[in-house]
Amino acid sequence: MAYLAAFGCAVCYGVGSVLQCVGARRLEAAGGLDPRLLARMAKQLPYLLGLTLDLVGWVLSLIAVRTLPLFAVQATLASSVGVTAVVAAIFLHNRPGRAQVTALGMLGAGVILLAVTAEPSTPHPIDATISIAIALGVFVLAGACVVTARALRGERAALVLGILSGLAFGGTALCGRAIETDHTLTQIIADPLSWALLGYGALGLTVFGTALQRGSVTIAMAGQAAAETVAPAIAGLVLLGDKARPGTAPLAIGGFVLAVAAASLLAARCSGDHEIGPEPGARPATAEPVPDRPYASV
């Protein structure tokens, strides 16, 4: 069940990202990180459909992390970059090249290795001090997002904002696995990790929407997938006692590296071909110049 939930989440994230990009590009890009962006984009049907898929995927990811170690779940979610690349290629009528097909094969192999080697387990409990530190991380990450949204433009902004959104979504995965299942409802509400989970989720959605306005969907997804995979995996190993099945650690490491490398390769090869441009009539941001090259119209 947990494995199916992780794979289902990857599909939801991959398809949802393309739909969100279509909706986000119909709006004028904000000069910075605008908390009202979610409300504005929610009026766009493609974005709303994509957001619905993201929410479904998020619930599936929480189901997966309750049983499986974070390094396996998050690397499986990295395969959403491959889903995004394929869906964007079909949507824009661009056939994937040999390099993209090779990267998709690498991604599949890496995910299979992780699925075979991951050992289902109950996470170790963490103390209150670490829980509070994780919760305070929401504010630190939000500050970094504000600075980045104001300082960077174009594809560089899309990549860095994608990375920051990945850290935020990685925070939701960490919180979802770390919250103790034997808590009462009152204890769950009082747990800083519960509030941190919601804070990281809202921040991730807002920052990723901003990233989609600044550059290509695959670049934003690649940055998100890398951060969302690596950071929670390390936290799970250090804080929660995540581990591979006995004797399979080298295979788990190989699968993890293969999945992350393939996601990065997909982004590098697909960003130019699969970029989704602004809707006809949409105004560019005053702080950003109109790109010299034409965009494909959606």
Instruction: Quickly list DSSP for 252-281.
Output: HHHHHHHHHHHHHHHHHHHTTTS---PPTT
Q: What is the mean pLDDT of residues 126-139?
A: 92
89, two tokens: 């290629």
Residue 284 to residue 101: CA distance in whole angstroms: 34
DSSP letter for 245, please. P
pLDDT digits (tens, 9 = 90+) for 247-273: 888 888 888 888 778 777 765 655 444
Cα–Cα distance list, 59 to 5, 7, 69, 176, 274 (Å):
9, 12, 16, 10, 28
Rounded CA separation 187/197 (Å): 15
User: Given this model, what pLDDT does residue 294 score?
Assistant: 36
Q: Cα(39)–Cα(205) distance, rounded to whole angstroms?
A: 11
pLDDT attached to residue 134: 94
Residue 118 has phi, psi (to 5 degrees) of: -65, 135
Residue that has been written with the tokens 């299979």 in this structure: 112
In the chain, where the domains are located:
2-270
Task: List residues bridging with 118 in a β-sheet.
Answer: 244
d(CA 279, CA 207): 21
Residue 18's identity, in one-letter code, is: V
Q: Identify the residue whose tokens are 């500050």.
A: 143
Lowest average pLDDT, out of 96-110, 152-166, 197-211, goes to 96-110
Radius of gyration of the chain (CA): 18
Q: Which of 60-69, 162-171, 259-268 has the highest mean pLDDT?
A: 162-171
User: Which of 48, 12, 13, 11 shows the shortest CA–CA distance to 27?
Assistant: 48
Question: φ, ψ for residue 151 (rounded to 5)?
Answer: -90, -30
Q: Residue 249 half-sphere exposure, CB side, CA atoms within 13 Å?
A: 5
Distances (CA, A) of 256 to 97, 235, 282: 24, 15, 40
Q: Which of 10-14, 90-94, 165-169 has the lowest mean pLDDT?
A: 90-94
Torsion sign across C-alpha atoms 115, 172, 22, 215: negative
- pTM, to two decimals: 0.72
CA distance 178 to 188: 11
Place of tokens 């695959």: 218
Lowest mean pLDDT among 86-100, 194-208, 232-246: 86-100
Tokens representing 108 are: 């599949």
In the chain, the percentage of residues whose pLDDT exceeds 90 is: 13
- The confidence score (pLDDT) of residue 144 equals 93
The kind and range of the H/E element at 80 are: helix 80-91
